[in-house]
Structure 1
Amino acid sequence: MTSPFASKLGTNYCPLDDEVPEIRALLVEPLSRLKRIDDQIADLQKAIDELAQERESVRAFVDSHNELISPFRRLPLDIIQEIFVACLPTHRNCVMSAVEAPTLLGRICSSWRGISLTTPRLWSRLHIVELSRLGVADARVETTKAWLGRSGKCPLSISFQGCPDIPVPPGAISNDAIIPFTPRWQSITLCASSVVLETLSSITEDDVPLLQKLMISQHFGTGFTLPLPTFALLRAPRLIDFTFGGGHANIRNLPIQWENLTHLSLTSYNDSLTCPIALQLLVRCSQLQLCSFNFSQQDTLSLVDGAGRTIELPFLHSLYISSVGLPVNGIGNMLRRLSLIGLRHLHLRGELDIGLENLFVANLLAFLGVSLCFESLKIDTANSTTSSLTELLLGLPSSTTRLHIGGTLSWRLAHANGILNVILYDDVITVLTPTPQNPGSCPALQELHIARCMSLSDEALLRFIKARMTAVHPTLRKVVIKFSREMQVDIAQDIQPLSDDGRLEVITTYAQPPQPRAVGSFSPWHGLPDAPELADWAPMDDF
C-alpha cells in the first residue's frame, strides 16, 4: 500500500487541518481489510482450539493406557527396592527431610509409599539432630522410633548431633529412641554433651553384638567429666573402627580391644594424647589400616626417643598426623619409631620449629624409605624453607604419584600476618621438572596440588607442565595451583592443547586485584538492599 504521507510517517510531523479528513479517508479500506483478517484469524483459532482439545482427550487416553504397560510397572519388587536404595545418600546417613530419600519416595504415589515403608534397608541409616524445645523434642523422639522401627532386622547406622544447650528432657532421644535398638547397632556417631553421653553408660558389650564403628565427640563447654574408661560399650566384640574427640579421658585405659582395630582416629584438646601415648597405643593396634592423630600439646611432642623400639604395622596404609598451631618436629622422632612397609598415603599438618625443619625432613625421609608402595604425600606446614622443601622432594620414593603442598596457618602466625603462603620458589618446582639428563624427582607423579602459593612464577609452572607432558612416558594427569597473588603471565593458551585431548587437567586460580573506587563517587542507591555496583550505572552529569 502506498501513501501520500509516506515521508511523514515515523516523524513528529503534525498534519494540517485539511489533511486530517484526507488521512481518515485513506484508512477506510485498510480498516475494513484488517477486520476481515481478524475474523479469519478468529475462525482459524477456534478450529485450532477445538483440535487442541480433541488432541488432549486422545493424548489422555493414550497416556493412561501406556501407563498400564510401563516398563517400571513390570519390574519385580526386588528390583524396585534396589533402585530405591540407590537413591539414598552414600556419603552420610539419611536425614529427616521430605526433600530427599527415603521420605521423598513415599510422596510420589501410594504404591511407592507402600514399597518404601516395607523396605527395611531404606530406614537402616539415620542422622538425628536433637532439639532443646520440649514439644519439638518429643516429636523428634516419636519420629526416630517410627523411622528405626521400619528397619526390620537390618544393621543400623546412626549419627546423633546433640544440642549444645541443655536438652529438654536430657537424653530423651538416646534413652527412648536409640537405646532400644542397640542389638542392631553397627555404626554409631555421637556428638553431644556429657549429659547425653552418660545415658549410654548402662550399655554393655553384650548389648551391641554387631557394633563395628563408634565415634564419640563431646561439645565444648558442656563438661569433660565423661567416665569413658567405665563404658562397657567400648568393649564391643566386633569394634574395628574407633574415633574419639575431646574430653579428659585417659585414652590408654579405654576398655577397647585395641588388637581388633583397623581404623583409629584420636583428637585431643588437652594432655590426654601425646606422641609417647600414641606410640603406646600403636604397639597394641597390630591390625591397624588407617590412623589419625590430632595433637595439641607443645611440650610433649618432643618427648619421643627416636632410638627406641621399632613398631611394625604391616597393614597400615593411611596415616594422618596433625599438630595445629604447635611445632611438629617431635613427630619426626615419632615417625622414626614406625615401620610401615604398606604405607600408601601420608598427611602431615602443623608448624615447624625454625632451624629444625631440615632435621624433620631427614626423619620423614628415613620413615618413608621403608615403605614399599608409597603413593601420596600431603604436607601442610608453616615455616617450611626452600632448602627443606627441596630436600624433601629429592628424597621422596620414586613410586609417589600424588603430591599436595600447602601452608598451615598457625595460631601465632594468624595473629601476626593473617595469611600464610607456601614458600615455594622456582628452584623448588625445578626439582620436579625433568630434563633430558635428569628425570626429576617423583618420576611417576600423576597429580600436583599447591595451595596458597605466592612465590612460584607462571613461567616455572609452564616449564614443569611442558617437561612432564613431553617426557618419553608422561604420567602427569592433574595440576591444581591456588595462587595468592595476581596473574603475571597467562599460560592458558600454552597448556590448552594438552587439556583439549584429555591428557591433562590444569586448574589455576589467582587472587583478584582490588577494584579502584573513584574519590568522591557515590551511588544514588546507597543504603538500599538492591543497590547495584558502581560499575553497573553511569552518572547523569547533565541531569
Structure 2
Amino acid sequence: MAMHAIANSPPPSGSSSEATNEILAELIASLFLSRPSLNSSSSIAIDRVERSVPYPSRARSGFDISQLPAEIICEIFERFMEDDSVHPVFDDTPRPLVSYTCRSDPTKLGQICSRWRAVAVNLPKLWSNILIYNPKPSQVYLTNVWLERSGKNPLNLEVDYNSGKRQYDVRSEAQILRSFIRHLTRWKKFRFNVSVKVLGLFYALTDSPHKPLILESVDLDFHDLLPHRRAEEGVDGILKYFHSCPTLRQVVWHTRELDRFPQHAPSQLTHVHARFSVSIDDIMTFLPQIPLIQELQIESLRRPSKDTAGTVSLPLLLQHLRLLRILSHEVRGTSFIARLTCPSLESLEINHSNDFPESNQDLQEIPRFLHRSGCRLQKLDLRDAGRNITGAELEKCLSDSPLQSLTYLHIWISHISDQMVGLLSRKSPTGLHQFAPFLETLDLPSCETSDGLLANMVSSRWYEALDDNLSTPVGHLRKAVIFPGKYFGPIDEAFFSTKVLY
C-alpha cells in the first residue's frame, strides 16, 4: 500500500527533474550492465572494463526516468547497497556503515528528490545491516535513525574498533548497544568486538523476558577481558543465554572468553569457528555433539593434556561438513584429518607452522583422507613453512589425491619446484590436463623453477589464448598469482610482466 502511494506521487519538475533523470540514468545503466560478483576470479578485470563504458542517458532518448515504478527504484537501491569492495576498507567515519565491503551510504539516496527519499525511507532492507566502527557520539543518533527505518526486518549488527589505536568512546558504544538491545527480538546476526565495560548490558539480558527469536549467528569478543578475570563467570552466563536460542546455527568462540568447548553449546550448530587453543582429542570429543556441522575452523591445535599415544579409533564420519580449516603449530594438522571422514567436503585448508625449520607433517595423510571421504573437493589451500618438504613429496601428495573437481589451489611451501609445475602442465592424449583440469584460480607464492615452465603452464590452462596460436585448446584458469622465490628467468619475466592474470 505504501509503495503504491509512492509510485503514484507526482514527479519532480523543472531543472531538478532533469538532474534527477541524469542520476537515475547512471544508476539504471549500472543495474542492467552485468555487475561482477566479488566471488568471480575475473572481477577486477571486468570491473575495469565496465567503469570505462560511458553510461547512456535514458533522459536524452525521450524516456522520463522519474516515472519509473517504485518497484524498479527499490531494485536499483538494493543493487546500490551491494558489496562493492573486493577487500575490506576500514573507514573511521562519523556515520554507521553497511559493512566493511560496502562503501555506499543509503542516506544519500534521499538527497536526490522527495520521491527517492520516500522510497528509501520506506525500504527497510536498506537500513538492516549496521556496522559501527570506532564508536563515537555522532553515530548514536544515526544508529537510531537506521533502526527506526529498518522496520520489522531482521538485523545484522556489528560493532568493532581499530585495534591499533585502541581509542574510542565507550560511552557511545554503550548507548549504541542499548539501542540495539531495544530491538533484540530482530537480531539475526551479530559480531560485537567490545569493551568489558559494557559487559553488564549483556548480562542483564539473561534475566530479560525478551529473547532474540531469530538469532542465527553469534560472535562476541570482549577485547580487554584478560585483566578482568572475575568477569569470566558473567561471560559464560551470557554465552549460555545466546546458546539457548533454538535458531542459533553459527558461532565464533574467542580465546579470551573460552579455553575449551562450552558444555552448553547447542546441538544444531552448523558453523563453528574456535579461536582458542584446543587438542585433537578435545575436538574429537566435541564433534559428535554437533552432527549437523557444515563448516569447522580451528585456529590452533595444542598438545593433549595427557599422553594418548597408541590410542586408535575409527575415523569420525562428518556427513555434512563442507569446509574444514585448520591452523596448526607443532601439532600436525594432518594428524587431525587422519581421524575424519568427510564425504561432502568442498574446501580444505591446512596452515602449519613449527618452531623448528623442518616440517613434521605427513602429507600422504591428505590423499588417504580424500580417498576415504570420496568427496569432490573444489578448494585446496596447503601452507607449510617447513624447509624439508621436497618437490617430489608435494608432487606425490597431490598426484595421489583425487582432485579432478578442484577449482582453487593455493600452495605455499618453501619453494615450488619443476616437479610441481610439471604436474600442473601434464596433459592426457585427449588434450585435457591430467591434474585438476577445471582449475580456475592458482596461487603459487614461491617458485624456483626452470625458466619458461611457469609461462607455458599458465598459458596452457588460461581460459583464452594468450598467444597467436588460436588453435591451442584453452582451459578454465582465470586468476593466477605467481611469485618467484628470488627472481624470474628472462622468458617468465617477459611473460608475467606483460600480462595481468586475473
Question: TM exceeds 0.5?
Answer: yes
Match of 1:310 in 2: 315
The equivalent position to 1:260 in structure 2, one of 268, 275, 282, is 268
Q: How does 1:421-436 map to 2 (within 5 A)?
A: 422-434=414-426
User: So what's the TM-score if we normalise by structure 1?
Assistant: 0.66
1:238 correspondence with 2:247: yes
In 2, the alpha carbon distance for the partners of 1:278 and 1:319 equals: 13
The equivalent position to 1:215 in structure 2, one of 213, 219, 236, is 219
In 2, the alpha carbon distance for the partners of 1:359 and 1:143 equals: 52
Match of 2:486 in 1: 485
Report Cα offsets for 1:430-449 as digits up to 9, x if no partner: 23331567987524241353
Measured after TM superposition, the shift of residue 242 of structure 1 is 1.1
Measured after TM superposition, the shift of residue 461 of structure 1 is 1.6
Contact 1:328–1:353 (Cα < 8 Å) also in 2: no
1:446 correspondence with 2:439: yes
Q: In structure 2, do the counterparts of structure 1 residues 196 and 151 end up closer, same or farther at CA, with 3 Å as the change threshold?
A: same
Report Cα offsets for 1:50-80 as digits up to 9, x if no partner: xxxxxxxxx9799699989854322222332
Amino acid aligned to 1:378: D
Match of 1:120 in 2: 124
Contact 1:346–1:377 (Cα < 8 Å) also in 2: yes
Report Cα offsets for 1:390-441 as digits up to 9, x if no partner: 221221214242353443xxxxxxxxxxxxx632211232233315679875
Measured after TM superposition, the shift of residue 102 of structure 1 is 0.6
Contact 2:363–2:393 (Cα < 8 Å) also in 1: yes
Match of 1:160 in 2: 159
In 2, the alpha carbon distance for the partners of 1:112 and 1:343 equals: 46
1:387 correspondence with 2:416: no
Select the structure with the greater relative contact order (CA < 8 A; seq sep ≥ 6). Answer: 2
Measured after TM superposition, the shift of residue 143 of structure 1 is 2.3
Match of 1:30 in 2: none
Give 1 or 2 for the bigger CA radius of gyration: 1
Match of 1:196 in 2: 198
Report Cα offsets for 1:313-370 as digits up to 9, x if no partner: 11111111113xx2242x2221111110011111111225879858621222211112
Contact 1:480–1:506 (Cα < 8 Å) also in 2: yes
Amino acid aligned to 1:371: G
In 2, the alpha carbon distance for the partners of 1:274 and 1:483 equals: 36
Q: How does 1:363-442 map to 2 (within 5 A)?
A: 363-369=365-371, 370-383=373-386, 384-407=389-412, 422-434=414-426, 442=435
In 1, the alpha carbon distance for the partners of 2:275 and 2:16 equals: 64
SS at match of 1:78: helix
In 2, the alpha carbon distance for the partners of 1:366 and 1:65 equals: 62
Contact 2:391–2:417 (Cα < 8 Å) also in 1: yes
Measured after TM superposition, the shift of residue 459 of structure 1 is 2.1
Q: In structure 2, do the counterparts of structure 1 residues 361 and 337 end up closer, same or farther at CA, with 3 Å as the change threshold?
A: same
Q: In structure 2, do the counterparts of structure 1 residues 60 and 248 end up closer, same or farther at CA, with 3 Å as the change threshold?
A: closer
Match of 1:460 in 2: 453
1:284 correspondence with 2:289: yes
Contact 2:155–2:189 (Cα < 8 Å) also in 1: yes
In 1, the alpha carbon distance for the partners of 2:310 and 2:113 equals: 67
Measured after TM superposition, the shift of residue 116 of structure 1 is 1.6
Q: Give the superposed CA RMSD.
A: 4.0
User: So what's the TM-score if we normalise by structure 2?
Assistant: 0.71
SS at match of 1:207: coil
Q: In structure 2, do the counterparts of structure 1 residues 214 and 359 end up closer, same or farther at CA, with 3 Å as the change threshold?
A: closer
In 1, the alpha carbon distance for the partners of 2:16 and 2:259 equals: 73
Contact 2:423–2:435 (Cα < 8 Å) also in 1: no
In 2, the alpha carbon distance for the partners of 1:62 and 1:127 equals: 34
Contact 2:427–2:434 (Cα < 8 Å) also in 1: no
Measured after TM superposition, the shift of residue 218 of structure 1 is 3.2
Q: How does 1:471-510 map to 2 (within 5 A)?
A: 475-478=475-478, 479-491=480-492, 506=501
SS at match of 2:392: helix
Give 5+ residue unaligned stretches, structure 1.
1-58, 408-420, 500-504, 508-543
Percent identical pairs in the alignment equals 19
Q: How many residues align?
A: 418
In 2, the alpha carbon distance for the partners of 1:423 and 1:214 equals: 39
1:327 correspondence with 2:330: yes
In 2, the alpha carbon distance for the partners of 1:374 and 1:341 equals: 9
SS at match of 2:320: coil
In 2, the alpha carbon distance for the partners of 1:358 and 1:252 equals: 27
Match of 1:87 in 2: 80
